Chain A
């Protein structure tokens, strides 16, 4: 019986109704066995022919949960039947025999039998055979790597070492799950209370973030605990929860950066130029999309493909200090800064290469976070950074150049938020593609772009949902991520930049510029997590848009925030825990940037 079937019957019903197939050529024993099994309230099918049994099993693989078979049968050896069943149907098989010879028992075990019963079969023994079904299902679940469901304590006989190991493994996972669940619940509770009281969201401004980074540096990334950070920062009205969630985002960002940096280094080496293919990532529904994105630039795709695996799984090792230091310099030419740092990550390089289209160092400023965080990691990309300005990115934003320029200027104000800068850029580009592209771009910006893509669609939906304000302008942003994504590739066809992130940035940037974007940002603000994630993970782009989890989280759907999502998606950069400071946080920087951009860019409505 499959797990689903058992579930449908009602878990508490099991083992009642477990479907057993009994095979024995001796009619006496077969009748007795069938009656005993029925007395145990199992659903029994009997046959005296092994071949018939196999046929029945093959007919419908889900028809039976357990097979009991005699060892000595005239038409087919019991062990052979055992092998067949094990290979084809992977059902637990119990051997039955009058002969309890050790050699035979050993043979049964080596052939994969779950158990070996001796005739006469007693009803007490049959009452416990369901344990084999449960054990196997548990093992399957273990092997598949999915989270284990806590299964009813069966009091199974610990006969097989595997069971023990699996049990321990399961227990470990279960504990982890429970821990994470607990944490999530706690944060959720924390969130709910403050939100009920409508505490003002904490805006992680550049200054604030600078302090935060300084505090983390001082403490050391490993020892940075929210409480101490809070003390060091010495900021009023900042709660431990705010700091905690910010720290979490930051950590994830670092992880992502380091991973991305690695990959970008590889990619840069391979490609050497901006990867327009990446930019062209069209339907960003996940990793698969990458493949579709750049028909022309398969290398890039390949590189991107490589990203996700390493992506989220993080590197808390990266010294936060490195990246953090770079952050607080708003007006500086980040590019130069980055170059000095010497470890620009591929991410940065990408961004920068992307940016060059607009040949605005300011743009690069927009990416300070990413650059610097990338610094944490790895090597190379300096060269790339250097390259960036030179690449011709005019085509990057076909038609959006004007916007981009306008936006770029706005970047300087918000070095912290690569997001904002990116968003600016995105805005420019989005002009053509409407918010759709921006969303997709944002997805790009996400450390592991892939995740963004996956998140884009939901994000867009989420945005729509979260946008209670329903500002007309914002709504376009919320349009289907799919559309956005689709439009995105058109945007990026021309430029062949090796800066998917840059593209993200551009796309992202487009969003904020728009007043609607601001509103959207506000909407996102509600989803604190979005912002948090953005700042932590990828300064380049407002992950808010991209991170469905955060958005969803904002909607109070904590269940989405599961680390498992990271695993599954591979790229989704969402924090497993609902941001405790979900409410208080806000996209302050985004807003700042947006307003700055508004001033400079006459609020070109992209949407």
Chain B
């Protein structure tokens, strides 16, 4: 009875830059060319078929991946990390803009990290008194977060802004800590989402090569 052998296959952690999903034109059957992170963790052991190809390369996992994707999304909604605005983003992605979601999210990450750095430098400044400037930063953060659908990050920003309006430095500091934490969680989860999506596309591509 054939039993797939488990192989240990190290897959380098995906680079945020590689979140851009591009449908492969041609299925590369050589496993070591595939730099995808399967499932959620690097070093994941994936089942290998008799021929030595990972099962997912055979395109049998497309459905599974889609299920995984949906499961993850539901989980994130449940946690409040994402809200339905993210679904709107997904709906905007179509043939004319196939990488729309990843584009927007990447820009969001870029801008948010800038904002966070600014906020931290403002608050770390011992002579800090310019709450208005902080308010402006926060406004932008709130706007972009809500546009992405990052609910928890947005809520923390709102609390942060409230503290800033009251010129509550301590409150602002606490809010900043919380904000940075929430932002990290969001970023990781979004990364996962993108990875699964990429794998799913690949798997779907393998199964239906004509689609490429």
Contacts and interface: CB of A to CB of B under 8 A. Distances in A.
Interface of A: 25-29, 31-32, 35-36, 39, 70, 72, 97-99, 119-123
Given A26-B111, A122-B88, A123-B88, A32 B139 contact: no
Contacts of B111: 26-28
Contact of A98 (B97, B108, B143): B143
Given A28-B144, A32-B147, A72 B139 contact: yes
Contacts, number: 56
Interface in B96-116: 97, 100, 103-104, 107-108, 111
Contacts of A97: 139, 143
A29 B139 contact: no
Contact of A35 (B97, B108, B144, B146): B97
7 contacts: A28-B148, A31-B104, A70-B143, A72-B139, A98-B140, A98-B146, A119-B142
A36 B144 contact: no
Q: Is the contact region of chain B dominated by helix, strand, or loop, or is it mixed?
A: helix
Contacts of A120: 85, 88, 143, 146-147, 149
B100 to A, nearest CB: 6
B107 A119 contact: no
Nearest to B115: A26
A29 B142 CA distance: 11
Nearest to A33: B147
B136 interface: yes
Contacts of B147: 28-29, 32, 119-121
Residue of A26, A27, A36 ringed by the most chain B CB atoms within 10 A: A26
Contact of B139 (A27, A31, A39, A99): A99
A120 B86 CA distance: 11
B92 interface: yes
Given A27-B111, A72-B140, A99-B139, A119 B146 contact: yes
A-B pairs, top 8 by smallest CB distance, nearest first, are A98-B143, A28-B144, A120-B146, A98-B142, A119-B143, A120-B147, A28-B108, A32-B147
B144 to A, nearest CB: 4
B96 to A, nearest CB: 9
B55 interface: no
B39 interface: no
A27, A120, A122: which has the most chain B beta carbons within 10 Å? A120
B122 interface: no
A31 B143 CA distance: 13
B91 to A, nearest CB: 8
A25 B139 contact: no
A72 B135 CA distance: 10
Contacts of B88: 120, 122-123
Contacts of A72: 136, 139-140
A243 B157 CA distance: 80
Given A120-B146, A120-B147, A31 B140 contact: no
A70 B147 CA distance: 13
B144 A26 contact: yes
B92 A26 contact: no
A99 to B, nearest CB: 6
B209 to A, nearest CB: 31
Contacts of B143: 26, 28-29, 70, 97-98, 119-120
B159 interface: no
